[in-house]
Amino acid sequence: MIQKKIREKAKELLEKKVVDLIVGFGEWTLPLRTTPIFIRTPEGADHLIWNSFCENNLATYLHKFSHFKVGVVVKGCDARSITALSLEKRFKPGQLYLIGVPCQRMVDRRRVKKAVKGEILRAGEQGDQIIVEGEDFKTALRREDFLYPSCQVCIHRTPRQANVLVGDPVEETPMVETHPEIKEFEKKSPEERWDFFEKESSRCIRCYACREVCPMCYCAECFVDSSNPKWIEKSLSPSDIEFYHIVRAYHQTGRCSGCGACERACPMEIRLTYLTQKLNQDVKELFSFETGIEAETPPPLSTYDIEDRQEFIK
């Protein structure tokens, strides 16, 4: 039982004072969701939970606790973000203790909600099914049909860099070879691609939830917030919105673990991962590099070598 092991490990770490606090997932008020929680006492560890709704990337919170020793519950993608952040020297050696969970892939709550009529009041899991209940219905859905796109393509579900694994490693194969939206996107002409991007980003309300949930977005001052120099205006004009989205995606190249947190955070359901995952795919093809897999290899776009390919210079 993964949940039991997470609690035991968390309790032990807090009792032995290996860490000051544990960042994990807890139960909250809405069905199909969990919430990030922060545990500081051994007794508190019993609030930690594990299920298919642990969709947040908890690596984001580590920036907040730079003065503490932190234990953190991680999925494969969260651990990859942490490795990438370590390469960017965001943590002191030995500051973190990763409680690694081989991930079962997370459930896309929005798709579940759209699949049933009426409000879901209770949700749970039974084997390979998600059971959702409302006022006058109870339905079982096949879990496999409701996984996040980023989870469907995920290969590295077992957190390699974890200090401890609380479950058996899972196989390193994706459910689907290519991100379904990238496949569609690649078929389009440049004009159609732009139309798609324009249509998606037109819903943006500039709440920056995609930026704030992302563990890799930690710049002390984001370029959109800078007033001197001013790179971008703050209103809802399409060109400013599009500029933000393009720069956000490009800034992730070779740094994004593909966790999909940005897309899940968007209240306007703007599709975002087709951009970042496409860039990930390109980096993999061009440089044989995947974010956060090797603890010592820096991302290709952050290094320089005289042997670098130069054919793009014309």
> Nearest approach, Cβ of 305 to another protein (angstroms)?
36
Q: Edge-to-edge, what's the strand order for the sheet holding 70-74?
A: 35-39, 21-26, 70-74, 96-100, 164-165
Of 156 and 264, nearer to another protein (C-beta) is 264
Q: What is the largest CA-CA distance in the chain?
A: 67
> Nearest approach, Cβ of 281 to another protein (angstroms)?
25
Contacts of 29 (CB under 8 A, 6+ apart): none
Of 6 and 39, nearer to another protein (C-beta) is 39
CA distance 281 to 231: 28
Tell me which residues touch another protein (CB under 8 A).
21, 26-30, 33-41, 43-44, 47, 56, 60-61, 64, 110, 113-114, 119, 121, 202-203, 205-209, 211-213, 225, 233-237, 261, 264-265, 267-269
Please choose, from the candidates 195, 194, 30, the residue with its C-alpha nearest in 3D space to the C-alpha of residue 121.
Answer: 30
Which two structure tokens, joined as six digits, stand for 15? Answer: 């009792």
> Nearest approach, Cβ of 240 to another protein (angstroms)?
9
Half-sphere exposure in the Cβ direction for 201 (13 Å, CA): 24
Query: At 132, which amino acid appears?
Result: V
User: 3-state DSSP call for residue 33?
Assistant: coil
Of 176 and 207, nearer to another protein (C-beta) is 207
> Nearest approach, Cβ of 269 to another protein (angstroms)?
5
Of 26 and 300, nearer to another protein (C-beta) is 26
Of 48 and 147, nearer to another protein (C-beta) is 48
> Nearest approach, Cβ of 101 to another protein (angstroms)?
19
Which two structure tokens, joined as six digits, stand for 106? Answer: 């997370």
> Nearest approach, Cβ of 230 to another protein (angstroms)?
9
Half-sphere exposure in the Cβ direction for 140 (13 Å, CA): 6
Of 176 and 219, nearer to another protein (C-beta) is 219
